[in-house]
Amino acid sequence: MREFYPKKGRVILHVDMNSFYASVEMAYDSTLKGKPLAIAGNVEERRGIIITCSYEARKYGVKTTMPIWEAKKLCPKLILMKPNFDRYRASSLAMFEILRQYSDLVEPVSIDEGYVDITDSYHLGSPLEIAETIQKRLIEQLDLPCSIGIAPNKFLAKMASDMKKPMGITILRKRDVPNVLWPLATHEMHGVGKKTAEKLQSIGIETVGDLAKANEVQLKVLLGINGIRIKERANGVDTRLVDPDSVSDFKSIGNSTTLPKDTTNQQELFRVLDHLAETVSVRMKRKKVVATTIGITIRFKDRKTITRSKKVENPFFLKEEIFSYAKRLFLKHWNGDPIRLLGITSTDLTDHEHAVKQLDLFSYEKEAKKEPLIQTVARLKEKFGKNIIEQASEKEIQKNQAGTFTSFNRDFLQ
């Protein structure tokens, strides 16, 4: 099968699960198949939006992020279900386990998509045969449909997987770029959002082809280094490797919530911050990291949004510390107007074991009292292994991992 693989270069698959949450529910309950199904938040609250929906629901115009009331108006027979993260996590892990049987180079991007470098998997068949086998196994073993892009790099593989849904397989070579990608509007290109597309339009760039031929100096002035990067993508150039370890490369941990109603009630806002602090702390403990910068996000009734952050002297991860820092930031920057959304983010993350705490005159005595215990634990770990002793909070986290991740983060892989 070597003749189907390039002598130089890579062969990369992008596997994208189709309507993942809805498909998992249909696999679990076959009576849902063929019906308009949507996974959504609480119908009674304003935050209730469509997270994902089946293709039967999409025929009625139902879309992701659409408010529930609007979706029900378009499709009165729409079946609404709350997300079951335990179920999705299990299906995701099973899906990636299948992908790893075809290559060691599997890079999860989110709960329902990932890249697979099959350059050295020629003994398993041609790239198309491998893609067909993966798609068939995901259906037969998990009852989950997917679309797969086959290309020489990650960008083209991602673009290819979006071209035929559901259950499509698309090959996109670099020589196909002028005919296939260049006629597309810039907002249809992976990596170009709505705001970026609007900026590009302001200088006369309407299509991917326009972007591919654009002036680099002009792009850099408009978009910075990202301007050069997306021009390279528009020409089919992407040198990023499939990196199985990239899932652990995270720079921040945060959480936000839209309030049931706009409010100026300070105690209610403090309760929200307290809950957010707990969620962020749990995720930090699970990842065994500490942070040195705390940030908050405030969105007001008029949708104006501000983010503020502060570097602190000592690394933190406890809920009480996170809440205290966030509360101080909040009080400093809240102008008293009604608030629609609050968020807390911890950044500048460091592995817990490698964090160095800068002791001051006030914390030294308290920390010094802990030193004999710390040394004893260190000796035990050195003798019997680092997992011989764990915090009770870590055990509790292991029992309660479900329900704290979405398709927009990578907690499910930790």
> What sign for the dihedral angle of Cα 168, 173, 179, 185?
positive
Backbone angles phi, psi at 113, to 5 degrees: -155, 155
* Tokens found for residue 20: 């993942």
Are the C-beta atoms of 178 and 153 separated by less than 8 Å?
A: no
Nearest partner of 143 among 63, 103, 87, 100, judged by Cα? 87
Residue 64, CA distances (Å) to 32, 81, 289 in order = 19, 14, 33
Residue 191 CA to residue 199 CA, distance in Å, equals: 14
Q: Give the contacts of 101 (CB within 8 A, at least 6 positions apart).
A: none
Active site residue 113: yes
| Residue 337 in marked binding region | no
Say whether the peptide bond before residue 83 is cis (omega within 30 degrees of 0): no
The full 3-state SS of 254-316, as one line of letters, equals: EEEEEEEEEECCHHHHHHHHHHHHHHHHHHHHHHCEEEEEEEEEEEECCCCEEEEEEEEEEEE
Nearest partner of 248 among 110, 413, 16, 405, judged by Cα? 413
Amino acid letter, 136: K
Nearest partner of 50 among 24, 19, 26, judged by Cα? 19
Residue 168 CA to residue 154 CA, distance in Å, equals: 17
Which entry of 25, 56, 107, 113 is annotated as an active-site residue? 113
| Residue 249 in marked binding region | no
Residue appearing with tokens 């996000």: 297
The full 3-state SS of 369-411, as one line of letters, equals: HHHHHHHHHHHHHHHHCCCCCCCHHHHHHHHCCCCCCCCCCCH
Are the C-beta atoms of 410 and 108 separated by less than 8 Å?
A: yes
Q: Is 192 helix (H, G, I), strand (E, B) or coil?
A: coil
Amino acid letter, 307: T
Sequence length of the chain is 414
- In eight-state DSSP terms, residue 241 is P
List residues forming the annotated binding site for Mg(2+). 16, 112
Report, as residue numbers or ranges, the catalytic residues.
Answer: 113
Q: Which residues are annotated as a binding site?
A: 16, 112
